[in-house]
Amino acid sequence: MKLLRYGPAGSERPAILDGSGQMRDLSGVVADIDRTTLAPDMMAKLAALDVESLPKVDGTPRIGSAVARPGKFLCVGLNYADHARETGKEPPAEPVLFSKATTALCGPNDDVEIPRGSDRTDWEIELGIVIGSRAKYVSEDDALDYVAGYTLINDVSERRFQSERGGQWVKGKSHDTFGPVGPWMVSKDEIADVQNIDLWLDVDGERRQTGNTKTMIFGVAHLVHYISQFMTLEAGDIIATGTPPGVGLGMKPPTFLKEGQVVTLGASGLGEQRQLMVQA
């Protein structure tokens, strides 16, 4: 299943794609794509629907974040060895965890704001894990049982705020619009091998990132297991799993986003995003 949300910001409605890619309204079945909908019993109910009988969504409405109101928006840093090295760091011995404020969440094609005072706004394409069941102290062997599906994320970052303004990375990761998620959440049964997903990102049509999740240092199952040792994961939580090399910080010289530039990104099976950079 490909679940998504459409409509004006703050008033999105739930939807599902049918076999031809037509958007079908789910409002008569669920209230939203949120923690309740992502639980296993409801996901099973959705999987059993006659999707073709649901109302068509006409036109090309705005697409919102694939998941509504996640309790946690967690991120894994430096999870591709080449990316760690391009930022001047060694690959970590354990996953590096940080968070983005949930207010950073936005739609996959919404404008992205360059914060006031920013001169180092950067891009990061990432595979996102969407949790479907409460996970606490889960084993790596069982970890994928707690996953509802996967999505595409641009972990937009302000590098000076992140690394030079003191404290934790969260300051450089949490500006409004720094978390485009979607266009949809793909149920895990549709992804044959989550550790073999191609990723790409362009800036103004120039390829900047090309990667594959097979080169992650810590795979999806390990991340869910590992994080559950430190906090309880709940349905609807989102985990951004790290970015492959090619970020602006790693370019020579470092190159960052400017007002008016367009970032496009995509991943096999997870769709594509497009964002115009605007000044906050």
Q: What domains are there in the chain, each with its CATH number?
A: 64-279 (3.90.850.10)
Query: Checking phi first, is residue 269 left (phi over 0); if not, alpha (psi -120 to 50) or beta?
Result: left
pLDDT tens for the chain, 280 residues: list them. Answer: 999 999 999 999 999 999 999 999 999 999 999 999 999 999 999 999 999 999 999 999 999 999 999 999 999 998 998 787 877 878 899 999 999 999 999 999 999 999 999 999 999 999 999 999 999 999 999 999 999 999 999 999 999 999 888 888 999 999 999 999 999 999 999 999 999 999 999 999 999 999 999 999 999 999 999 999 999 999 999 999 999 999 999 999 999 999 999 999 999 999 999 999 999 9
Assess whether the previous peptide bond of 115 is cis (omega < 30° from 0): no
- The answer to whether the CB of 239 falls within 8 A of the CB of 131 is yes
Closest CA to 123 of 278, 264, 267, 269: 264
Q: Give the DSSP H or E segment for 212.
A: strand 206-212
On whether the pTM is more than 0.95, the answer is: yes
